[in-house]
Amino acid sequence: MPRAGLHVKAAFGALKPVSFARTSGSRGLHVLVPIRTGPDADEVFALAGSFVAHVAAAYPVGLTLEHSIAARGDRVYLDPFRNGFGQTVVVPYSVRRREKAPISTPLEWSKVKPTLVPSDFNMGNFRQSLQGPGPWKDFFRSRQSLKDATGALRRL
Q: What is the CATH number of the domain that holds 142?
A: 3.90.920.10
- Report which of residues 13 and 26 the model is more confident about: 26
Read off the pTM.
0.87
Tell me which residue of 63, 60, 76, 62 sits closest to 26, measured CA to CA: 76
Residues 113 and 93: their CA atoms lie apart, in Å, by: 20
Task: Give me the pLDDT at residue 64, please.
Answer: 94
In total, the chain counts a number of residues equal to: 156
Residues 75 and 135: their CA atoms lie apart, in Å, by: 28
Q: Which domain holds residue 126?
A: 2-155
pLDDT at 22 over 90: yes
Q: Is residue 63 classed as helix, strand or coil in its secondary structure?
A: strand
The tally of domains found in the chain comes to 1
- Report which of residues 12 and 35 the model is more confident about: 35
